[in-house]
Amino acid sequence: MSAWRVSDVCTYIRDRMTMLGRVAALLLLAGALAGCQADELGYGPKHKRPVDSTIKRKMTELGMRSTSPIMIRIFKQESELEVWKQARGGRYKLLETFEICKWSGELGPKFKEGDRQAPEGFYEITPSLMNPKSSYHLAFNLGYPNRFDRAHGRTGSHLMVHGACSSRGCYAMTDKQVQDIYALARDSFKGGQRSFQVQAFPFRMTPENMAKNRDSEHMDFWRMLKVGYDHFELTKVPPKISVCEKKYVFDATPLVDGVPFRATAKCPDYKVPDRTAMLVAQKQSKDEEKFQTIVARIEAREERKERWEERQKAIAGLLGSDAPAAAEATVEAGSAAADGAATAVAVAPKQRPEGDVATAYAPAQKSDSGTPGGS
């Protein structure tokens, strides 16, 4: 073969290899771009995206590591989800409050599959309950029914905190909100937290709200939840949750090593740390006193209103058919004046929940087919 022909062959081979290299580089680039999964909320796989920069700055200001443990509190009536995070020193501080987009059912616990009721109680979320492939952007399962729920024969499945702002028994957030909540939970697991606690309440457990809802058939259940609420309010550390005699107990340690708490069995002898027990007892006593004062005020207002209405009806009967309109206007004015005597009563929920649900410990038997995203 002549010298120039060898040169041509070498040039040809070099050009082909260069072209193949470019094709390979393009394929790699295409794969990388596909992995970015860009959308309006960011780049990369949604379950791996970092927390919002505003929340990062808050963590720095509050002395929190990105991987320190978290805890979540949910309040139905206020439609709020709080994320608390451990700061230096071991206590938890409020990091962020998210407005719940939707929750379903009414104030009160969930009883059965298909009642479309969002749960109330204390739940532990492990990594296995996190769902990075949720149809509702991102989600985590609450783990309902827990030991307390099962002890009471309550049923249900797939009760979530998720995105997409659509609820059938779940707590629904916007996609952006759930992305940050998911990221905070994911990072806490990276830091070694084995599970994080979710405390789901009907409302902030204040004397005002308890008084407003005093006639609810759920009041005994809510009083029990309030004990756990008070433990956290006073210690700023998530309480240890146990269940015995079909009730929650908080920060309890059996007096005899190795004796477990069993949900349906008699509670073993146990001890709560002295200081915690003292502080909780003091708060419970103070709150009960305030509760009774508010209830007395509300009942006095209702009694005045009832007497006023009876008086106006009597006046209307004496004056004849021309008086009802004037009497009704007088009743309304009297009611408005009476309402001013009880300004401490809490406000109504921010959003109207969806769906029907039984409202007693022994719910009425109703059938409901249930819907995706929880029941």
Nearest to 160 by CA among 132, 139, 174: 139
Catalytic choice (101, 137, 158, 162) = 162
Does 267 participate in catalysis according to the annotation? no
Phi, psi of 293 (to 5 degrees): -65, -45
Does 165 participate in catalysis according to the annotation? no
Please provide the size of the chain in residues: 375
* Residue linked to tokens 């509300």: 298
Q: How far apart are CA 338 and CA 314, in angstroms?
A: 20
Q: How far apart are CA 100 and CA 10, in angstroms?
A: 68
Measured from the Cβ of residue 307, the count of other Cβ atoms closer than 10 Å reads: 12
Nearest to 143 by CA among 123, 117, 120, 162: 123
Catalytic choice (158, 170, 218, 231) = 170
Q: How far apart are CA 250 and CA 266, in angstroms?
A: 15
Residues forming beta bridges with residue 198, ordered by sequence position: 72, 123
What is the helix, strand, coil percentage profile of the chain, to 5? Answer: 40, 15, 40
Return the active site residues.
162, 170
